[in-house]
Amino acid sequence: MQVLSNARNFAGGLGSQTILLNSNHRLLSSLTRINSSPLSSLQCHVLTEASSGLCRGSYFPMPQHLVYSIISRTCFSTEAGTANSNPTEAVKELYDNMLQSVNVKRTMPPNASLWSMIENCKNHEDIKLLFDVLQNLRRFRLSNLRIHSNFNCNLCQEVTRACARVGAIDFGKKALWKHNVYGLTPSIASAHHLLLNAKGRNDAKLMVEVMQLLKRNNLPLQAGTADIFFSICYNTNNWELISKYSKKFIKAGVKLRQTTFDTWMKFAAQRGDTESLWNIEYLRSETMKQHTLTTGFSCAKGLLLEGKPEDAAALIQVLNQQTLSDAKKPGIAVEVEKLVNEWPSDVIKHQKEEDRKGIGCFFEI
């Protein structure tokens, strides 16, 4: 069985538009035209979700206008401030005023001062002052106000957001410890800010460090955690990590999102790993009745690898006729073109060096 020959038969059953391959061979001889419906460009709508919950304690409630201001800022920083950088004037002034309040006046500073300090952090030294203030505030609450509880987790979320924003990842990781001297209450939402920073820089090492902190501090994994994690693994081409941690997510009872299955199945199809692909498809089908464009084409590629072009064509017909909305049906043409021009080289690229020659012949016509 030769995959390209099967793919040609598969495409021949789909339609009449000719596609030329971009190298020394052809994968398909025609592009799909199902039920005589014209195919145009796909409009993709990506929906992202953000979640945050309030934990015990309501000290330092965040002003609404500041929430929107902070959320509107970028989540990522490509590098942290240098050790020799100086704190910004605005942060230093707030820092001095807050320390004078607790150490000299013996009163708690206004809530707005702390939120303003978080918002104005621009570099590593600013974050260093912020954590020093937090430690002083916690000490004052314990010794003078006899308040033993930590600040609410909303504060920790915004602190870790600021750390990720300026690249002060060392301080961001400190905020995830359950027992800390800063009075912070870590949550999975706080960890997501660091994971998003890792995603923005394709930093698999930081991702693993954050995952280890989650385990050590008993922070529960969530669907959003898996979504970010799988995306980083895909972007960094790390199948070993995605295979290892997928078991942890499933064992923890995390209900994976459709976008997570999209990433996972697309990755398996690009590797030509049909065994993993069908295992993932089984997990997906247990919670989701219908395919997306991505999972549907991933299964179609698996069928092609197994020498079943007619089944692959039938699956895409179902996608077009029953599953996909009218807005997403034009994406079928885009995906078929990717199957022609990109997928064979993707599969070959993901093979071991000694296996590439054999798999290359496998794709020849």
pTM: 0.78
Contact 322, 29 (CB under 8 A): no
The amino acid occupying position 279 is N
Give the number of other Cβ atoms within 10 Å of residue 85's Cβ: 14
pLDDT of residue 207 exceeding 50: yes
Flag whether pLDDT at 162 surpasses 90.
Answer: yes
CA–CA gap between residue 321 and residue 311 (Å, rounded): 15
User: What distance in Å separates the CA atoms of residue 76 and residue 162, rounded to the nearest whole number?
Assistant: 9
Domain ranges of the chain: 257-364
Say yes or no to pLDDT of 303 above 90.
Answer: yes
Q: CA torsion sign, 350 to 356 to 360 to 363?
A: negative
**Lowest model confidence (mean pLDDT) among 111-125, 251-265, 273-287, 333-347:** 333-347
Cα 47 from Cα 293, distance rounded (Å): 15
Which of the pair, 183 or 363, is modelled with greater confidence?
183
Q: Which residue has the higher pLDDT, 126 or 34?
A: 126
**Is the pLDDT assigned to residue 44 strictly greater than 60?**
no
**Residues 225 and 259: beta-carbon distance below 8 Å:** no
Q: How confident is residue 168, by pLDDT bands cut at 50, 70 and 90?
A: very high
Share of the chain above pLDDT 90, in %: 68
What per-residue confidence (pLDDT) applies to 33?
37
CB atoms within 10 A of CB 104: 8
20 and 323 Cβ atoms separated by less than 8 Å:
no
Structure tokens at 336: 């078929």
pLDDT score at 96: 97
**pLDDT confidence bin for 72, thresholds 50/70/90:** very low
Classified as helix, coil or strand, 130 is: helix
* Confidence check: pLDDT of 26 > 90: no
Give burial (CB, 10 Å; 0-12/13-18/19+) of 37.
Answer: middle
Average pLDDT score over residue span 210-228: 97
Length of the chain: 365
Report whether pLDDT(70) > 50: no
